[in-house]
Amino acid sequence: MAALLEPPPPFSNLHLSSSSSSISFHTQKPNFLRLQNNQSKPILLYLHSPPPLLLKPLYCSALSSGAIDPPQPKPPPIEDIPNPNPSGGERRDSISIPSSSSGSTTESRKKDRRKTVKLAWEKLVRWSRSWRNKNKTDVLQRTKKVVVLGGGSFGTAMAAHVANNKAEMEVTMLLRDPVVCLSINESHYNCKYFPEHKLPDNVIATTDAKTALDDADFCLHAVPVQFSSSFLEDISEHVNSSLPIISLSKGLELNTLRMMSQIIPQALGNPRQPFVALSGPSFALELMKKLPTAMVVASKDRKLASSVQQLLSSQHLRISTSSDVTGVEIAGALKNVLAIAAGIVEGMDLGNNSMAALVAQGCSEIRWLATKMGGKAATITGLSGSGDIMLTCFVNLSRNRTLGVRLGKGETLDDILSSMNQVAEGVSTAGAVIALAQKYNVKMPVLTAVARIIDNELTPQKAVLELMGLPQVEEV
């Protein structure tokens, strides 16, 4: 205890006493307590907190009578009290209980919290630098040519992205439309999909498969799923058996229920064709604008996945790797069907509660089917699952969501499709999803309802009533 060395203060005559001791309060400073007994000098104690229960009757009487003043909110620091009489007199000690609500303590906690956050961030940065140095490869330096199959919006955006990663690299787009081909080569614009975004000078276009595929180090496949098999069969003689195919296409083949990881090797006649699936929340327009984006590359060959990661990564595109090809592909295919359902809810103006319930249910259905097919549940909750689902279901740039909105407002599917210049993969995928659900014995009410609406077997209004009338079961 630290000594309080100021002249003895006057004490009130309100006190507790016995034959051997007495207790009394300071008249102006009720936090000071005077203890007196017959065997020692008086002791003066200082209390931060209210007096103990034993002393409260005396304390309250002193307050009500005006004999003492109310306690001070902030007591003076012990070290600031002068010591005019260090040699003797009444002994004064202090009992101090720290207050967690004091200004100094709050400020100290803020500093500690800021320090913790700063250290955590510095640790993350150090880990990132260490990882990059350890995993640094010369894939980009060694790559001289990349071919892109297809000249749609996403294929064009990825061609521009890869070309921007290395100016000395040739990026060749294999197209069927000679007008778009001419536009890219002469003015460096894709006149059909990106007439306002100039492409890098090292992006060129051709309609000749042999010219495009000769000496290519990597191939980006951006042809719609339903046309992929016939397209690849036509060019298979020019595809090197060791050429890695990076699939940008999402969906299921309608009649065969095949994923791109099955379509590509079979169409090329090479079961060992190196394959990588690229997926994740990404709109072509935002890639063209170089806005921050994150995606996933999935391959059973971890070394190949790492190589593609190095090829595609940039300051505005972050690439993660996965070995769960099935999970990534199923999530990428089924999210298009779910986006149509989300669009229907929006078009019918059913509100935010309905939208949240629908998307949550749809996510569960996708997870059920993916895991039955051998995919991982963690993939469905990750970037290529929930991340892609949220983007496609909630943002107006989504073709499938836009189609759903128009269906919800009463337009016919034929009218909608005839007015679109891009493919909405969810339309053809919906039927395949139901066939897969039956094959793997998975109940998928939301996605089944979408398939029935597309087949004109159910109106959106009737679908809502039927979904709301389903049995209410325990959530799993």
- Residue 159 contacts residue 171 (beta carbons within 8 Å): yes
**Catalytic residue check, 335:** yes
DSSP character string of 166-217: -TTSEEEEE-S-HHHHHHHHHHS-BTTTBTTSPPPTTEEEES-HHHHHTT-S
Q: C-alpha angle with apex 114: 108 to 119, nearest 5 degrees?
A: 125
Burial 414-444 (b: 16+ CB within 10 A, else e): eebeeeeeebbbbbbbbbbbbebbeeeebeb
- Residue 392 contacts residue 401 (beta carbons within 8 Å): yes
Given the residues 289, 335, 372, 443, the one annotated as active site = 335
Cβ partners under 8 Å of residue 150, min gap 6: 173, 174, 175, 221, 222, 223, 224
Six token digits for residue 363? 């996510």
Owner of token pair 């890639």: 287
Nearest Cα residue to 401 out of 429, 426, 421: 426
Six token digits for residue 278? 């690229």
- Residue 397 contacts residue 283 (beta carbons within 8 Å): yes
Instruction: Give me the residues paired with residue 47 across strands.
Output: 95
Start-end of H helices in 348-444? 352-372, 377-380, 388-394, 399-408, 413-419, 425-439
Classify residue 382 by its DSSP letter: S
DSSP character string of 449-465: HHHHHHTTSS-HHHHHH
3-state helix, strand, coil in the chain (%, to 5): 50, 15, 35
Owner of token pair 């195919």: 245
Length of the chain: 476
- Residue 304 contacts residue 274 (beta carbons within 8 Å): yes
Alpha-carbon separation of residue 220 from 71, 119, 154, 182, 188 (angstroms): 78, 41, 10, 21, 19
Six token digits for residue 64? 């009500």
187 vs 198: CA distance, rounded Å: 8
Catalytic residue numbers read 335
